[in-house]
Every structure is written in structure tokens, then in C-alpha cells.
Chain A
Amino acid sequence: MKYMLRVLFSLVLFATTAVLAQTDVVESDSTTVVTEQTPAPVSMFEAKDKDNDHGHAFVLNWELSADDGAGLDNVLTYEVFRWTPNISDSIGIIDTLLNVAIVDNGPLNQTTATDAEQRIDSLMTAFLGPLANASAQEKGARLHELRAAYVERLAEVHSAYPANGYWRKIKVVPFGTTSCEDVGGKEPENSGYIPDFTDYYYRVDAVTADTLVRAESKIAGPVQSSGQWFNTGRVPVLCFVIIFTILTLYFVQAAKKGTDLYVRPLGGIEAVDDAIGRATEMGKPILYVLGLGSAADVATIASFTILGRVAKKVAEYQTELIVPTYDPIVMSVAQEVVKSAYYDAGRPDSYNEDTVFFVTQSQFAYVAAVNGIMLRDLPATNIYMGKFYAESLILAETGALAGSIQISGTDEIAQIPFFIVACDYTLIGEELYAASAYLGREPVLLGSLKAQDYAKAAIIILAIIGLIAGNLDWTGFTGLFEVTN
């Protein structure tokens, strides 16, 4: 309630000041000067290395000042200070000189403001001495050298605290805040670089509306940052990966031993063979679109496997296959996949290297090209498998207008409805990944499907327990699944 009142009061004060500032009427001398009283400082202030990170960062925690939201209730902000050796300022000035005066080994920037030029010149002279009149390249190289030497000395000068340094304000946070992070750059070349294993000191001031009236905390430090070798915030993920890997390996082994694994049939997959047969009967080509994903996308990897199966059938039936690609790496992989499929089908002579070709890396230019193929060549079957974005509906609707049988599959949630309305068969999400196993009917691949089914069952059970735990406030249980960072 008090916060609300304070915010309301600030708003009213601000509005009144704004209105008065715009009035021409000169007010009489009725201003009341309010003198702020010094608030209580924050307590339990501590600075520590940030957990589960690559280093170069600290976390600062404190307990609110007694006058924040209570007592005098006059704390407006907390100002966080870091003890900074003077040498850091020199590094900052060198960074500015390099950015403003010298564009790395280039000429001096044209500066019209004379005082700015003079200040740059004087700083150059201060830092470079006899080199002040050297070429821009020489100046740049010397400044880089100087900077590197200063950065190397950072650990040494930090250990000399409190000599040759001062408190620099690094952050201002509003009242009610009890923690903040000081995250520095990890490269010595970056401005704001915080070296690991170097002593740092921090202080927090509770500040009132009159910024001169403030209370300093005790100093926290020395504290050193360092990177960790294991992210403890991701333990639940690790546990899941281990359990899922064991499940998968178990079912793969079971499948290898000959255990009969039932998997429910997928309409879209069963339609692939029929669609290829239809194309053969009609004497028309099959268009296979791998989407806009890169070769690193799992959906594209799954699509390669399906392409291999389709190409093998196509080779057996002696039908034409067209595979326009969006990504050159995808093209190279797809060429290899199709070529191998033709070899496996015993038809290496039928393989045409122009079956898989690169079109463009521009999304809608790619769509235009594929739509052109659909309307000119009128493929009997269009297969869309992989990652699709805004182009999905344009492709699928054009295919529908051209009268092709269409089978699609994607893991892009937003595109699934488009494919469902415009295609004859759609593989929804995970079915795309399962398709290769269905097509091949290989026991080892079916084993991984079985593992997925069990994992899904486990997730459903855990979701139900989580629902109950969440409602009954069993934080011990829900905390087990909390993933941070």
C-alpha cells in the first residue's frame, strides 16, 4: 500500500511540476525545502562469484535498508559501486581514442568541433608522447600495445586496494531491490572486461530523493570471479538425458534380439508408397522439398532419411525426382543421399546429378522457383519434409491448385495448421522424426520409437503429479524439475 502511495505521490508531484513549468505565472516564494534524513544502510551485503557461468561476473546480494518501505521510508534507489583502479580509466580512454580518433589503422576521423580535436590531440600526446605526430597506423598500434600492457597489470593493481583507485558507480536499481549482477566482458579486448581470479570490491549506497543524502554499506570483498566446469542448474536435464539414453539403448537391444515392437501406423507414411506409384502411373515427377532448415536442424536430418527412402523407391520405379534446395550444404548432403539410394536400388546409371539442385537462399525467391516448378512440371506428388516458415502455405496451396497429391511433415508448430488444411497427409511434429523408422521398419530404429513412447508416458504421469504438487505447494517435488540458466 505504501509503495502505491509513494508511486502515486511521485506521479502527482511530477504532473504538478510539469504544469507549473509551463505556466507563465511567477509563483511567490512559498517553496518549502524538505531536508532528507540519512537512511539506514543495507545490511548483510555480500558479493560472490556468479554460479554456473563462464566467469567474469559477480552477484551482489543485500537486505533492504530499514528505511526502504518502512521506518523513514525515504530510500528511492540503491547505487552499486565497484572499486576501480585508476588504470581502468586509462584503458577506457584508450578505447575511446581507438574508436573515435582512430578507426583501427585508418585515418583520423574528420572532426569539425575544434575543442574535440584539441582534446583528442592532448590525450594522444599524453598517451603517446613522441609518437603524437606519427601516422594513424603507428598511433593505433601503439595504443593497442599500451592497452594490452594495462590489461595485464589489472590483477596486480586490484590487489593493491585501496591505493590508486576510486569507487565507480556501475548500477542504479530501484527501491525494493535486493540483488544485482555485475557481468563483465570475457575478452581482454572488450571494454568492460572483468578478469578472472582478480580481487574486486563492492559497495551499495541507499540513496534518498536528495542524492547527497545516502548511507554507505560495508564493503564486500575481496571477491574473485571464475568459470565453472559443471552447470548445476541443468542437473534435471542431465538426468533426463541419461534416463532417455538408457531407455533407447534398452529398446534397441531388445529389438535386435527379435522382440516384436508394435508401433501404430501413420497415414502419411503409408501414403508415400502409393504416391510414388501414382506418379509412376501418371508419368509425372515427384517434387521433394526439404524446407528452409540448415543441415544442422534435426528436422532436416530426419528429412534426409525420408528422402533416401523416397529416392530408392523412385529409382526402383524409374520415376523422375526433383529436389530444389534452399541451402547449399543441404544440397550437397541431399545429392549424396539420393545418389546412394540409386546405388542401393541397383540403378546407378539412372542417377542424374541435376535431380538435387540449389535455387537460392532468399525465402520468397525460393518459393517462387518451387511454385514455378509445380506449375510448369505439374508433379504428381509433392512431399514437404523439414523446417518451414511463412512459405508453407504458399507452397502447399500452389501444389493443391496444381492437383498434386501432397504429403507434408514439419516440427514448426505455427506451420502445422497450414499443412493440415492444404495437404492430403501431414506428419505432425514428432511423426516427422518417426517417419524414417516407419519407412524402414528396421528394429533398431523402431526401438527408439518405443523409448519415446515410454518417455511420453512418464512425462504424462509426472505432469499429473506436478499438477497436484503445484496445487498443494509441494515445492520439494516441483523444485526437482527446476532448470536454471
Chain B
Amino acid sequence: MKRQIPYALVFLFGLFMVFQYFVPHESSEWAYEFLLDWIMIIGIFALALGIWSLFHLSVEKIRARKEGHGYSYITLAGLFVMIAFGFTARHGESWGFYLVWVFTYLMTIMLAARTLAASNEPGKRNMFMVATLGFLVATIAIAIFDDSWSFYFYTSEGLENSMWRRFFDFVMMPILSTMFSLLAFFIASAAYRAFRARNVLATLLLVAALIVMLRFNPWFPQMAGLSNWLMNVPNLAAQRAIVIGIGLGIVATALKVILGIERGYMGKG
């Protein structure tokens, strides 16, 4: 029964999605949008599980003192600082005890993680627990008595918080851009490996690549036509063949899932 109900649901909703594609009526659209809303609802619950997984894994690394476990502290700090900034905002120009609150809040989280990590060492665990409670009391006290900032759980003020924006714009974005820019170097190294003329096919690849690379070179205008032909005829033909294969594969897999032939996604091979 535990298995049969999910299969029945997959069959039912899978079949509905197939029919929905052929039924443009408003009722069908409404049902489709209703089901899509459920994906968001499930996603929000799953996100909580995801954050717990990340927290648990980081604590485990700290507890086991694995190589590079210091990064886990940074991960936890980054996660909880952004959550704090996202749900709080200052009222005016005054900082009050806002940053002190962020510090005590962060210390509470870090020490709580340390307490969990030290579960096998009672002495250390008690010490960290006392410290956690101390910082927790300080965090709550500042939150109650400091009037320079407030919590905003249901409005967008948190996202307009200057600290949240600054961390995002000046820390997060440059780091992400750096990661993306690595792609340029990896393309060069991958191209070097791919274009070594080891056999006939690799040589063909090298020649084709040279022609395509010279497409925009003003000294070889005649390459533009040849390059366009390469891109629009043999390349496009191969791509279309792959796309047709992918389309058939998708339909076949979807069919197998709906009919219960493919059960791997439920942990049943």
C-alpha cells in the first residue's frame, strides 16, 4: 500500500498533465496552475529540509574535525547572517545595538553548533551550552529593548535592508562572478585538449574549430561563409538529430514513469 498509493498518484497526475496539453479550456488551465502551486508549497517545505541538511552536515564536519572544517563555521555564519539581515531592518539612520544583536545572534548559532558537535564530550558540551544560553539571553534582550530596528517577516523591508543588499552586492556577486569567469580559462584548457590532432577525427575537429574561430577575423572575410555553412548545415543537422532523440527519450521516460515501469525515482529499481 505504501508503494501503491504514490504510483497511483503519479499515474493520475501524469495522465492529467498529458490531457491538459490538449485541453485549452479555462478549467483545465485552472487545474494545471493549481497543481503548479503545489510544487511551490512542497518546495518551501523541502527547503527547510535542505537547510537542516546543510546545518547538520556542517555540525558533523566540526564534530569530526574533518579537513577544512573551519569552512563549516563560515558556511553557518553566512547562512544565518543573511537570514538575520533578510528578516530585520533599521527604522532610521541610528544603528543602536543592531550590530551587537547580529553578533550575539551569530555567537548563539555558532555555540549551539559547537554544543551539538561536542555531544560526546560532556564537559565541553556543558560549557558551550552555558555560553549558548548566555548569548541567547543577550540576543533576546537586545531584540526586546532596542528600538532602532525591528523584525519584518511578512513584508519586503528585510530585503531592502542595507546590510543584506551590501552583503549580496559586494560579497556574494563578486564571488559568483569570479567563479563564472573561471569558465574562460577552463574553455582554453579544454579546447587545447580537444584540438590536439591525434587522429583523423580530432584533426577534422581542429580544422572546423579554426574556421569557426576565424569567422569574425577581418583578414579572412571568406571564412565567414564557410563558417556559417559549418554551423548551419552539418552542425545543425547533428544537433537536430540529437534533439529528436532527446524528445523521444523524454516521451518514453515520461510514459514509463506514468505507467509505473520506471520506478527508480522512488528508490525502487
**Residues of chain A having any CB pair with chain B under 8 Å:** 52-55, 186, 227-231, 234, 237-238, 241, 244-245, 248-249, 252, 295-296, 298, 301-302, 304-309, 312, 325, 327-329, 331-333, 336-341, 344, 354, 357-360, 362-365, 367-368, 372, 376, 390, 393-394, 396-398, 411, 413, 416, 418, 420-422, 428-430, 432-434, 436, 440, 444-445, 448-449, 451-452, 455-456, 459, 485
Interface residues on B, range: 35 or more
B254 touches A329 (CB 8 A): no
**CB-CB < 8 A to A368: which residues of B?**
175, 179
Q: Do B265 and A422 touch (CB < 8 A)?
A: no
Interface check B141, CB cutoff 8 A: no
B1 within 8 A of partner (CB): no
Q: Are B267 and A448 in contact (CB under 8 A)?
A: no
Shortest Cβ distance from residue A271 to the other chain B in the assembled complex, whole angstroms: 19
Q: Which residue of B lies closest to A245 (CB)?
A: B255
B246 at the interface (CB under 8 A from A): yes
Which B residues touch A309, using CB under 8 A? 264, 269
The residues of B that contact A325 with a CB separation of less than 8 Å are 50
B267 contact from A298, A340, A364, A429, Cβ within 8 A: A340
| Contacts A422-B193, A448-B256 known; 15 new A-B pairs at CB < 8 A | A55-B25, A227-B25, A227-B26, A229-B25, A245-B255, A248-B255, A248-B256, A298-B249, A308-B269, A337-B264, A340-B267, A354-B57, A362-B172, A428-B242, A432-B249
10 A-B pairs within 8 Å (CB atoms) are namely A54-B24, A301-B262, A301-B265, A340-B269, A358-B53, A372-B68, A390-B180, A397-B189, A416-B242, A432-B249
A contact residues around B172 at 8 Å (CB): 362
* B186 in contact (CB, < 8 A): yes
Shortest C-beta distance, B37 to chain A (Å), equals 14
Tally A-B pairs: CB < 8 A: 208
Pairwise interchain contact B245-A430, C-beta atoms closer than 8 A: yes
| Stretch binding the partner chain, chosen from B15-23, B128-136, B216-224 | B15-23
Residues of A within 8 A of B49 (CB): 328, 331-332, 358
B251 contacts A394, CB within 8 Å?
Answer: no
* CB pair B267 A341 closer than 8 Å: yes
**Interface of B toward A, CB cutoff 8 Å:** 18, 21-29, 39, 42-43, 46-51, 53-54, 56-57, 60, 67-68, 71, 172, 175-176, 179-180, 182-183, 186-187, 189-191, 193-194, 239, 242-246, 248-257, 259, 261-262, 264-269
B residues less than 8 Å from A421 (CB atoms): 190-191, 193-194
Cross-chain contact A455 with B187 (CB below 8 angstroms): no
Tell whether, in the assembled complex, residue A411 and residue B264 are in contact, meaning their CB atoms are under 8 Å apart: no
User: In chain B, what residue has the closest Cβ to A227?
Assistant: B25
Distance in Å: Cβ of B60 to nearest Cβ of chain A: 6
Asked if B22 and A448 sit within 8 Å, CB to CB, the answer is no
A452–B46 Cα distance when bound, in Å, is 35
A456, B189: Cβ atoms closer than 8 Å: no
> How far apart sit A429 and B57, CA to CA, in the bound complex (Å)?
34
Set B22, B191, B251: member contacting A238, Cβ < 8 A: B22
